[in-house]
């Protein structure tokens, strides 16, 4: 991408963000959503609801302030999460009750690669090697290197060659996080 195109892209992205903020575009906390792109800036879509993270990183609920729960290693407002009970208020199919809130089944399970996680979840090796929902995407360029867009989620490219050292990759690739990628 040329520098000129990059500046145009950046300008349009900032303009879009500013218009969303200024004109009130985007869904409010608790509104139904399909993806984070539908929520107001600063919110993200979790379990089909726009939720507000506190911005604080966490590993467990005890790391978060009062009325917040730890999801995706971020503290989120509990009022935006669906509460549950194993006996009286079960979760929908594909979700399980964890710490009193419905969580996608398998989320938080330890993993080494995406294949270790249930469908719809990815292995987040950079944040504790746990299964979580993958980043949302429309096309492959929306995903990080070594990942592709599959059913609107970034997943590890199954065709990428695994590597331990640079010699495991072809001359036009580099070994990055155990996968050969084109820089």
What is the full per-residue pLDDT of the chain (183 aa) written as tens digits? 555 554 544 444 444 444 343 345 788 877 877 777 788 887 777 767 777 766 677 777 888 888 887 776 677 777 666 777 766 767 766 677 767 777 666 777 778 887 777 766 777 777 677 777 777 678 888 777 777 787 677 776 766 777 777 887 888 888 776 767 777
Q: Is 17 helix (H, G, I), strand (E, B) or coil?
A: helix
In a domain, 58, yes or no: yes
In a domain, 107, yes or no: no
Name, in order, each residue with C-beta under 8 angstroms of 156's C-beta and a sequence gap of 6 or more.
113, 114, 122, 123, 146, 147, 148, 179
Residue 55: count other Cβ atoms within 10 Å of its Cβ.
Answer: 8
Distances from the Cα of 100 to the Cαs of 61, 89, 114, 181, in angstroms?
11, 10, 26, 41
In a domain, 34, yes or no: yes
In a domain, 39, yes or no: yes
- Are 106 and 131 in contact by the 8 Å Cβ rule? The answer is yes
In a domain, 89, yes or no: no
In a domain, 172, yes or no: no
In a domain, 3, yes or no: no
35 burial (CB, 10 Å; 0-12 / 13-18 / 19+) is middle
What confidence score (pLDDT) does residue 4 get? Answer: 57
What confidence score (pLDDT) does residue 168 get? Answer: 78
What confidence score (pLDDT) does residue 147 get? Answer: 74
What confidence score (pLDDT) does residue 119 get? Answer: 66
> What is the domain count for the chain?
1
In a domain, 99, yes or no: no
Which domain does 38 fall in, by range?
18-81
What confidence score (pLDDT) does residue 173 get? Answer: 82
Specify the pTM.
0.33
What confidence score (pLDDT) does residue 13 get? Answer: 46
């Amino acid at each position: 991408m040329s520098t000129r195109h990059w500046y145009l892209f950046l300008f349009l992205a900032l303009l879009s963000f500013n218009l969303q903020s200024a004109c009130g575009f985007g869904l409010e906390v608790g509104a139904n959503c399909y993806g984070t792109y539908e929520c107001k800036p600063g919110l993200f879509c979790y379990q089909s609801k726009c939720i507000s993270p506190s911005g604080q990183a966490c590993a467990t609920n005890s790391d978060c302030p009062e009325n917040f729960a730890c999801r995706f290693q971020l503290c989120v407002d509990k009022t935006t999460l669906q509460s549950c009970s194993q006996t009286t208020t079960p979760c929908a199919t594909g979700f399980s009750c964890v710490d009193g809130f419905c969580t996608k089944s398998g989320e938080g399970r330890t993993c080494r690669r995406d294949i270790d996680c249930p469908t719809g979840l990815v292995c987040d090796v950079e944040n504790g090697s746990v299964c979580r929902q993958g980043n949302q995407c429309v096309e492959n360029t929306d995903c990080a290197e070594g990942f592709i867009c599959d059913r609107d989620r970034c997943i590890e490219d199954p065709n990428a060659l695994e590597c331990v050292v640079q010699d495991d990759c072809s001359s036009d690739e580099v070994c990055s996080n155990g996968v050969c990628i084109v820089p």
